[in-house]
C-alpha cells in the first residue's frame, strides 16, 4: 500500500468501531445462510437415506448456481457505497435497484435452464438411481426460488452499501426460523415429503426477498429514486459484475480441483479433506465479515473523495485481518483434538487430517490479508484486476495440486498447495494495494 502518515489514535478507534459495527452483523448473516441447508438436511434425513442423498445432490447444484452470482452482492455494495460517500442517496438506491432488476433477469434465465435439464444435471452429479428422483423433484421446485435468492444477494449488497449490515442479519435469522418451521410443517404435517422441504425453502426465500424489497422501496420513495428498470443501469451493473464472476468461477475451479485431487488420494484422504474444507469455510466466514466491512467503508471513502481516509482504512483493516487470522490459527491448533472426533471415529481419517489441519492453521494470517484486500479492491470497484489476479492464481495452483498425487504426496501436501494458492493471492493483492492504483475517487469509478 502507498505510505501515508499514521492517523492518531482517535481516528484508529473510529475505524475499529466502524469495522466492528459492520463486520459482526455481517458475520452473523453469513453463518445463518448455511443453516438453511442444515435445517433441510435434519428434517429430510428422517424420511430416509435416498431422500437425504437426493437433497445432498440438489443442494450442491443449487449452492453452486447461487454462489456463482455472488457478484450481485459485491458489485452492488461497492457501487452503492460510492454514491453514499458522494452524499447522493437517491442515486445510490437507484443503482441498487439496477442490481435487483439484474438479479431478477438472471434468476428467470436460471429457471428456464434448470427446469428442463434437472434430470440430466442430477445424473451428471452422480446421483444413484434411488436418489435421482428425489434430487430432481427438489431441484425443480427449489429452482423456482432462485430469483428470490438472487434478489436477496443484490438487496443485501444495497444495504451493505448503505452501511447497514444489521437488517441482513435480522432477515437471515428470521428466514432460517421460517424455513425450519415451514419444512417441518410441509414435510410431515402436510405429508409432502422432500417436495415439502423444497416448497418450504422457496417460500422462506421469497419472504426474505419481499422484506428486502420493502426496505429498498421505502428508501426509494423517501429519496425520490425511480423503481423502474433502466436498461443502461442494468447493463452497467452487469459490466461491473462480469470481472467478479470470473474471479468467483476461478475460485470455484480451485476448490473443485482440490476435491478431485483429494479423491484420487484415497477414501481416508477425501473424507479428511471434506472435514477440513468445512472448517476452512467456517473460518472464511469470520474473515469475509471484515472484507464485507471493507467493501462498504472503502466505497464510501472513495465516493466522498477521501483518498487518504481510504488508504488508512485499508491499512487498519489489514491489521485486523492479520490479528483475526492469528487468533483463528491458534484456535485451530488448540481445538484439533476436539474438532476431529465430532466428524469421525476413524483413526485413519484422523491421522490424515491432523497434519493437514496444521497447514490450515499456518495459512490463516495469510487468509486474513487476502480476504481484507479482496474486500478493499471490491469496494474500490477494481474488479478487472481481481479477475486477472485469480486467473493467475488458478494457473499457479492447478499444476501444483495435480503434482501432489503424481509425486506421491498426501493430504498435507494438497493443503500446502492450497496455502501456496492463498499466498499467490496475497502477493497479487498486496502489490495492487501498494501501487495505489485502486484509489479512484468519485461517485463512479
pLDDT of residue 3: 47
387 Cβ contact partners less than 8 Å away, ≥ 6 residues apart: 243, 244, 246, 247, 250
Cα(85)–Cα(442) distance, integer angstroms: 8
All three cell numbers of 218, joined, read 421505502
The rounded radius of gyration (Å) of the Cα atoms in the chain is 22
Cα(303)–Cα(86) distance, integer angstroms: 5
157 Cβ contact partners less than 8 Å away, ≥ 6 residues apart: 72, 73, 74, 75, 76, 77, 80, 96, 99
Residue 77 CA from chain centroid, whole number: 13
pLDDT of residue 219: 92
Q: What is the pLDDT along the chain (445 residues), one digit of tens a residue?
A: 544 444 556 767 888 888 988 998 988 888 777 777 777 777 887 788 888 888 888 887 887 777 889 999 999 999 999 999 999 999 999 999 999 999 999 999 999 999 999 999 888 877 778 888 998 999 999 999 999 999 999 999 999 999 999 999 999 999 989 998 999 999 998 889 999 999 999 999 999 999 999 999 999 999 988 899 899 999 999 999 999 999 999 998 998 899 889 888 888 888 888 888 888 888 898 899 999 999 999 999 999 999 999 999 999 999 999 999 999 999 999 988 887 787 777 788 888 889 999 999 999 999 999 999 999 999 999 999 999 999 999 999 999 999 999 998 899 999 999 999 999 999 999 999 999 999 999 988 8
Task: Please count the other Cβ atoms lying within 10 Å of the Cβ belonging to residue 395.
Answer: 11
Closest CA to 344 of 423, 278, 248: 278
DSSP for 185-237, please give it.
IIIIIS--THHHHHHHHHHHHHHHHHHHHHHHHHHHHHHT---S--HHHHHHH
Say if residues 26 and 165 touch (Cβ distance below 8 Å). Answer: yes
Cα(372)–Cα(369) distance, integer angstroms: 5
Helix 89-124 vs helix 194-223: crossing angle, to nearest 10: 160
Closest CA to 75 of 156, 140, 138, 130: 156
Cα(109)–Cα(239) distance, integer angstroms: 17
Helices (H), 224-306: 231-265, 267-303
Cα(378)–Cα(294) distance, integer angstroms: 8
Cα(251)–Cα(246) distance, integer angstroms: 9
Q: Find the Cα–Cα–Cα–Cα dihedral 132, 180, 30, 160, rounded to 10°.
A: 110
Question: First and final CA of the chain: distance in angstroms?
Answer: 19
The Cα-based distances of 323 to 18, 98, 196, 270, 290 in angstroms read 17, 37, 44, 31, 11
Q: How many helices (H) and strands (E) does the chain have?
A: 14, 0
pLDDT of residue 89: 93
Q: Find the Cα–Cα–Cα–Cα dihedral 68, 34, 275, 23, rounded to 10°.
A: 90
All three cell numbers of 5, joined, read 502518515
- Position of cell 484508529? 12
16 Cβ contact partners less than 8 Å away, ≥ 6 residues apart: 316, 320
Say if residues 186 and 139 touch (Cβ distance below 8 Å). Answer: no
Angle formed at CA 282 by CA 276 and CA 288, multiple of 5 degrees: 130
Angle formed at CA 254 by CA 250 and CA 260, multiple of 5 degrees: 140
The DSSP element (H or E) to which 435 belongs, if any, is: helix 411-435
Amino acid at each position: 500500500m502507498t505510505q501515508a502518515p499514521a492517523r492518531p489514535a482517535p481516528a484508529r478507534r473510529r475505524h475499529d468501531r466502524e469495522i466492528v459495527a459492520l463486520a459482526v452483523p455481517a458475520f452473523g448473516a453469513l453463518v445463518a445462510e448455511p443453516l438453511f441447508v442444515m435445517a433441510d438436511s435434519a428434517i429430510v434425513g428422517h424420511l430416509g437415506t435416498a431422500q437425504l442423498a437426493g437433497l445432498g445432490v440438489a443442494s450442491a447444484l443449487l449452492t453452486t448456481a447461487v454462489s456463482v452470482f455472488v457478484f450481485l452482492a459485491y458489485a452492488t455494495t461497492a457501487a452503492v457505497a460510492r454514491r453514499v460517500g458522494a452524499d447522493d442517496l437517491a442515486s445510490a438506491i437507484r443503482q441498487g435497484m439496477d442490481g435487483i432488476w439484474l438479479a431478477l433477469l438472471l434468476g428467470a434465465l436460471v429457471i428456464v435452464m434448470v427446469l428442463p435439464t434437472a434430470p440430466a444435471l442430477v445424473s451428471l452429479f452422480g446421483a444413484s438411481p434411488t436418489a435421482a428422483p428425489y434430487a430432481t423433484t427438489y431441484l425443480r421446485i427449489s429452482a423456482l426460488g432462485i430469483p428470490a435468492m438472487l434478489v436477496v444477494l443484490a438487496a443485501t449488497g444495497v444495504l451493505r452499501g448503505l452501511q447497514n449490515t444489521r437488517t441482513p442479519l435480522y432477515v437471515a435469522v428470521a428466514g432460517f426460523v421460517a424455513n425450519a418451521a415451514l419444512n417441518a410443517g410441509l414435510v410431515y404435517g402436510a405429508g409432502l415429503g422432500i417436495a415439502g422441504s423444497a416448497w418450504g425453502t422457496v417460500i422462506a426465500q421469497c419472504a426474505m426477498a419481499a422484506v428486502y424489497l420493502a426496505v429498498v422501496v421505502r428508501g426509494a420513495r423517501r429519496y425520490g429514486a425511480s423503481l423502474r428498470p433502466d436498461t443502461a443501469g442494468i447493463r452497467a451493473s452487469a459490466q461491473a459484475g462480469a470481472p467478479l464472476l470470473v474471479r468467483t468461477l476461478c475460485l470455484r475451479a480451485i476448490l473443485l480441483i482440490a476435491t478431485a485431487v483429494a479423491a484420487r488420494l484415497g477414501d481416508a484422504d477425501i473424507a479428511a479433506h471434506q472435514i477440513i474444507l468445512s472448517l476452512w469455510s467456517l473460518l472464511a466466514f469470520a474473515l469475509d465479515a471484515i472484507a464485507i466491512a471493507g467493501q462498504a467503508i472503502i466505497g464510501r471513502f472513495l465516493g466522498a473523495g477521501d483518498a487518504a481516509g481510504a488508504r488508512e482504512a485499508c491499512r487498519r483493516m489489514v491489521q485486523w485481518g492479520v490479528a483475526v487470522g492469528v487468533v483463528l490459527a491458534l484456535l485451530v491448533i488448540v481445538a484439533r483434538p476436539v474438532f476431529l472426533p465430532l466428524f469421525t471415529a476413524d483413526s485413519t481419517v484422523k491421522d490424515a487430517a491432523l497434519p493437514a489441519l496444521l497447514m490450515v492453521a499456518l495459512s490463516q494470517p495469510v487468509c486474513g490479508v487476502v480476504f481484507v484486500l479482496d474486500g478493499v479492491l471490491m469496494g474500490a470497484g477494481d474488479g478487472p484486476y481481481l479477475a486477472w489476479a485469480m486467473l493467475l492464481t488458478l494457473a499457479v495452483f492447478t499444476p501444483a495440486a495435480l503434482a501432489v498425487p503424481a509425486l506421491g504426496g498426501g493430504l498435507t501436501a494438497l493443503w500446502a498447495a492450497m496455502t501456496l494458492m492463498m499466498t499467490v493471492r496475497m502477493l497479487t493483492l498486496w502489490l495492487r494495494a501498494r501501487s495505489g492504483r485502486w484509489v479512484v475517487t468519485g461517485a463512479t469509478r
